[in-house]
Every structure is written in C-alpha cells, then in structure tokens.
Structure 1
C-alpha cells in the first residue's frame, strides 16, 4: 500500500498541512521540522501524488504534444527535442498521435485539457479554428508546430515550406525535367498548401504548364500512401520523369513503387523528398531531400511554451512568437545530379 502524507503526519506527530508545507519547501515551517518530515518520508518511500496535487493547484508540470505519427522519424526527432528541453525545466511531456484525423485531434486536445497540462504543442490537421480560438481565450500556452493557422495569430514554429519546395523543384528543372509529379499530404493543412505553392512558383518561372494528372494528395503521410500515389502518377502516359514528395516518408513509398514497376532511380525516375530523416542518406540510392532541423524545431517550440507558462498570462504574453527555420536542399544520388553540394547553385 502506498504511503500517504497522513502516514507521515502520524509518525511525525504533526498535521497533514505541516507535512505538505515541509515536502513542498514552503517557508512557513522551521528547518528542524522540515528535515525530520523529509527523513520520515524517505524512510517510508513516500512518492508524491502528482495527480492529486495538480487537482488541488490546478497546475501541472506536464506539457502536451500532439503530432500526426510518432513512428515517422521526423516527428520522433521533434518529440525528442521537445522532451529534452522540457526535462531541463522539470517538466514531463505527454504525447498523443492523430494520424492526420481531425476528430482525433479534437479528442487529443480535450484529453490533455482534462488533465490540466500546463501548455500545448500541436501539429494541426484540423481545418477549423474553434479549438485554437478557445485555447487562446482560455490563455492556454499554445504553440503550433510545423503548420500555421492562417486565420488566427498565435505562436508557431515552422520551416519555410514554400521556399523549400521551390528550391527542390527548381533543382529538378535545372536537371532538365519538365514532367515533374508531386505527392502531397492532406489538402487542408497549411504546410501542404505552402509546399504546393513553392512547386507552382518554380514551374511557372520556368514556363512549364501545370498538369493536374501529375499532382496527387494523400490523407496521411505513411510510406504505404506514398507507394499508392506514386503508382498512380507513374501509370500516366507520358509518365513523370521526376517526383517531388511532400515528405521523406512518402518518398520511401515512391521509391518502392518505382522499384515494383521496374523503374531505375535516378536513370528513369528522379526522386526528391522533404525532411532529411536520419536514414535518408543510407538508402541504396541515397535520397535527395530538403532538410529541416526537426530536433531544433522541437526545442524552439518547447522554449516558447515554457516562457509562456512562466509569464502566466501577463500582458507581455500577448504578442505571438513566430519562428521560421530556413530549408536546405541536400543533393544526393536519387535526383541524378552529379553535384553534391547546394552551394554550387549560386542562384538559389
């Protein structure tokens, strides 16, 4: 049976309130009594009930993180950045996945609010804004991670998605490709819209007319979805000579589709991803991709949350923080280029 403060109070011959003050290092107790109570607590292997404490104080030392899929290496890196930063300040992180499902996002927000997390970080798939507006009205410290909310000014940490997709598409065009397919995620999320805008901009600048048959959207970012969508693209006649994938996980699926259809990368199909997940460089044909610093983005988001928690709704807290990381094109063999470093393209 777990030791309670009542047990400690009985042995120490003091009230439960005195035990509570001693264990929480409150000033209104003499040092000798504090040390004696703490010694008894150690001897009894007392463990504080953090849930009960949070119910009493209406505060916790936990932060909520809502992401699409922890199995995706990009989101896993971000989660580690969040956790490492939170740990430095004595906070724990509770993580929930949405699988890019709107209803799952709303449920995750409600769950984390019900256990009174101190703040929320959210990679949102939800097209509506009511839940974000409500969090802002309730002064819940909130950071949107990877995706913005266009209708509401709130804290966010993102990559310059349009610029990254623009650089990748322009690179493929410079390699001589005109039939460039693009595999995107759910149409309702801002990072998808931004990367599509970058793709369109590069194509327009090159005078290449967009073809709807070369543009496909998936409902999630899993490799299996990338494989299905890549096969759809590659059945076109004429088929695309290059594919830009919204993320490396979708690119992995495209890689498998090309192999299943007997197409050689990069000789018959150039392939570019986005994220630069840790093992992209270790593919049989190393993946050209747009790097974004997942771990540092997670750290940056958590630092904002911790700052907002400390301010506690102070007037200084009213101004939203916007952090935009620069994308970096990482050129490897999958695109067919012989040049290995981005700086060779002086006009990027």
Structure 2
C-alpha cells in the first residue's frame, strides 16, 4: 500500500502523545519513555515520515550539516578518515559538506566563508591549515590529526590525534634494532604537530641508543607525495652514501623511497637499506610494497570525530576534549 504523507500533528494523534513529545523523539532530545519512543518510531516508519530539515534550519538558524575540511582528498589516509566521518555522521542524522583545500591556505579561508554562509552546525578539520588570527565559525569544532591553534574564538573544541611521538620512536627503534646506524628522516612540515611529534620520536630513539641527531640526515619536503619521497631519498643518498635506513613520516613518501631504492641509486649502494613509513596505507600490505609502517586508527578517528561534534552540537557533555589514539608498528619486508 502506498504510504501517504503525514505531519507531526498527525503522528502525535496516531501515537496518542503531544506534538512536543513527537518532536523530542525525532530530535533524540528530552525525556520520554522507551514505550513512547517505540510507538512514535513505528508510526514514522509505517508512514515513511521525513522531517523537513530546511524548515527546521530556518527556525534554529542552523542545519543538521557538518562541514569537513580535508587537505588532500587524493591522499588515502585523509580520504579514509573523511569516509568514516561521513558514514558515522550519516548514522547520527547529519549530512556533510566536504571541502578539499589541496593544502592551500587561501582556499581554506574561502571554504570557511562558504560554510559560514551555509550555517553549518559544526566543523571538523582533518589536518587543516588554520592559523592564529584566522576567524572561526563559532560553532562546535573538532580537529583531527593536527593540533589546533591557540584561540579563544571557537565556541567548543575537541582535538583527536594519534600517539605520533610514540609512533616515530617505534619506527626509528625498529630500524636501529635491525642494525641501522645512519637513519635518514624524510618529513613534511615539522611545525605541523603530527609530523613534528614524529620527528621528536625519531630523535628520542637515537638519543636512547647514544647516537647523535644529525640535521644533515633530515629532509623536509614541500608536499607529501611519491615524487617528493623519491627526490629526497636521492638527495640524501648522494650526500650521505653511508645511510643504511630511512624513516618517512608518511607512507606516500616511503613509496617514493622504495622506488628510488629499486633503481640505480639503490643498486649503487651495494647493501640493504631498510625503510619504515607512517599511516599503513592499503598498498603497504601488498606483496609489491610490503612496507613496514606505523598504523593509525582511521575507524576510531571517524567514530570519535562524529560523536564529539554531534555531542557538542546537541549540547551534551563530553568525557574529555583531547583524545590521543594508540598506534601500532606493523613490520614487513622493508625492515627484515
């Protein structure tokens, strides 16, 4: 039988409750019995009722929409986190607007202006470039992967990161355990907390073994890509032929190093050069790459990020404002 359109008032009459109670059930807000909830939801399902989110947005001046700022949607790590966030937010009744900044600060500012005009209810930064002095949207905000700037503008803020320093330490220690003594580091911007913390872990592992930190063995790239990793590895091997290991603060950089090691530069070294990456992307576990890497919890980023922003939007308490997720070192052929 074809379902006919019903209003909240009709649902309230069919369920034998007030319009206000139906509204509370739909919005998961307020007090009502489990029996009442089941009765209202059954009628909603039976008649296929869909709330008018636009009308609700006009009343509240906010839509059930969350803006997601992502630096590079072609990067598998960021793409997977975005997908997990989108799936979890959808399950919680929220839509998303995905904004890919391509690591461009000006583009990020323009996206923020657009999201402000859209009157989004919340914002999630995945490794955003937001800096001191940049105006916020004054909505509940979650930062994932990179530490937020010090600011008092944002109404509410949560930061979710991996144990990056521990990951950098574990990666470097595994190279030292395998016999490496001259470990090159290829990294992105150390002023970004995730990469800076991985650098600190690298230095900690060297210090623990009584090995000096050599700035000449560190190359900072302008973009996280295979080509950047390839060029950085080539540069280090030409300047320091004694290098016997590499730690890359992202798997994409490590893939470029692998390509370099399989070419003339690697052959010329005349010895095994070991390698560890960070992120544990899908290609890292394949036979072609078999890259040792530090695994981050993409699923937990998505679950916690969605949960935190929705809790803040709906005015519900959070257990904490800072989460540091554990990492895991996965050893494969590049360190054996």
Q: TM-score, normalised by structure 1?
A: 0.76
Q: Is the 8 A contact 2:283 2:289 kept in 1?
A: no
Which of 61, 68, 71 is the matching residue for 1:65?
Answer: 68
5+ residue gaps, structure 1: 1-18, 35-46, 338-348
CA distance in 2, matches of 1:320, 1:104: 31
- Give the Å deviation of 1:203: 0.8
Matching residue of 1:330: 330
Which of 281, 284, 301 is the matching residue for 1:280?
Answer: 284
- Aligned residue pairs, count: 295
Matching residue of 2:312: 308
5+ residue gaps, structure 2: 20-49
SS where residue 207 of structure 1 aligns? coil
- Give the Å deviation of 1:191: 0.7
SS where residue 194 of structure 2 aligns? helix
CA distance in 2, matches of 1:62, 1:301: 14
Q: Is the 8 A contact 1:144 1:155 kept in 2?
A: yes
Superposition RMSD on alpha carbons, in Å?
Answer: 3.0
SS where residue 274 of structure 1 aligns? strand
- Give the Å deviation of 1:55: 4.6
CA distance in 2, matches of 1:266, 1:160: 35
Change (3 A) 1:245 1:56: same
Q: Is the 8 A contact 2:132 2:149 kept in 1?
A: no
SS where residue 243 of structure 1 aligns? strand
1:157 is aligned to 2:160: yes
Which of 257, 273, 279 is the matching residue for 2:260?
Answer: 257
- Give the Å deviation of 1:204: 1.1
Matching residue of 2:115: 112
1:89-100 map, 5 Å: 89-100=92-103
1:189 is aligned to 2:192: yes
- Give the Å deviation of 1:268: 2.4
Which of 78, 83, 86 is the matching residue for 2:81?
Answer: 78
Q: TM-score, normalised by structure 2?
A: 0.78
